[in-house]
Amino acid sequence: MLLLAAGAQASPFGAFYDQATQAALKPFALDLGGIIGGADFHSGRTLGFPGFDVGVTGTLQTRPNKDDIILRNSGVHAFGLPMIYASVGLPFNIDVIGRGMGYQGANLLGGGLRFGLWKSSKLSPLPDISISAFGDRLHHTYFSATHWSGDVVASFGLPIVKPYIGAGLDYTEVKAGAAVLPGVAGAKASARGTRFTGGVDFSPIPLMHLFGAYSLLHGISGFEAGLGLRY
């Protein structure tokens, strides 16, 4: 449902060429960083060698922030990004994650590392706790963006349904490639934002899992959902 909702909105970035101003680049970067970083985690448990987790996920923000006139003036309401991901477990409680997408004129490629600070037994009441760091590069017809993020997350080893909570920081830099207004092309702006997330990871059958979460993306409501195969 999340991915359908994200796709139902006419291209959220298509109006960048007409609406971009130098002042609008920073709030636009803030919104963009939230929906990219929102896909950073869905568990605090590292996979362990030779585990893997592959699937599709996406983050939806319910509205642009009040200063993001690029999205607001183009009539965008809820907007988001779907992406595919692949995680591989390594020794020493380390996971390597890659992710990417091609969506309505935007192409993203990124990845990161996750390190388990504490890994309990699968049915332990104690939480699994991990930290992670990601870097992403997004290219669009009218702009490019670089995104960096860091996260801390904890999840609880209940049978079948595993709750998780986490927080993240995003740093996003946007560079305008083409715009109507003179002086905007080539301009850059950066923004820092926070994320707070609570959700559940549900495993109805072996290997398959679904997850969903509610997030505050720099103070604005958002949602994450996904489906994966995990071992």
Express each pLDDT in 205-226 by its tens digit. Answer: 999 999 999 999 999 999 999 9
Which of 165, 147, 151 is closest to 32 using CA atoms? 147
Q: Would you state the pLDDT for residue 14?
A: 81
Which segment, 139-143, 147-151, 156-160, is predicted with the most confidence on average? 147-151
pLDDT band (50, 70, 90) for residue 7: very low
Contact predicate 138/107, CB 8 Å: yes
Domain residues for 54? 2-230
Whole-prediction pTM: 0.92
Contact predicate 230/202, CB 8 Å: no
Cα 40 from Cα 170, distance rounded (Å)? 10
Contacts of 179 (CB under 8 A, 6+ apart): 16, 17, 18, 20, 142, 185
Distance of CA 74 to the CA centre of its chain: 23
Mean pLDDT across the chain: 92
Express each pLDDT in 8-27 by its tens digit. Answer: 455 678 889 889 999 999 99
How many domains does the chain fold into? 1
Element (H, E) at 192: strand 188-202
Percent of the chain scored above 90 by pLDDT? 78
Element (H, E) at 173: strand 161-176
State the average pLDDT over residues 180-204. 94
Q: Would you state the pLDDT for residue 11?
A: 65
Q: Would you state the pLDDT for residue 229?
A: 97
State the average pLDDT over residues 192-204. 96
Q: Looking at residue 81, which CATH number applies to its domain? A: 2.40.160.20
Q: Would you state the pLDDT for residue 200?
A: 97
Which of 62, 89, 74, 67 is closest to 5 using CA atoms? 62
Q: Would you state the pLDDT for residue 126?
A: 86
Cα dihedral sign, 61-62-66-69: positive
State the average pLDDT over residues 44-49. 94
State the average pLDDT over residues 14-43. 94
pLDDT band (50, 70, 90) for residue 4: very low
CA distances, 212 to each of 8, 170, 176, 184, 199 (Å): 19, 20, 33, 38, 6
Cα 221 from Cα 167, distance rounded (Å)? 14
pLDDT band (50, 70, 90) for residue 31: very high
Give the count of beta carbons closer than 10 Å to the beta carbon of residue 214.
12
Contacts of 140 (CB under 8 A, 6+ apart): 13, 16, 105, 106, 107, 177
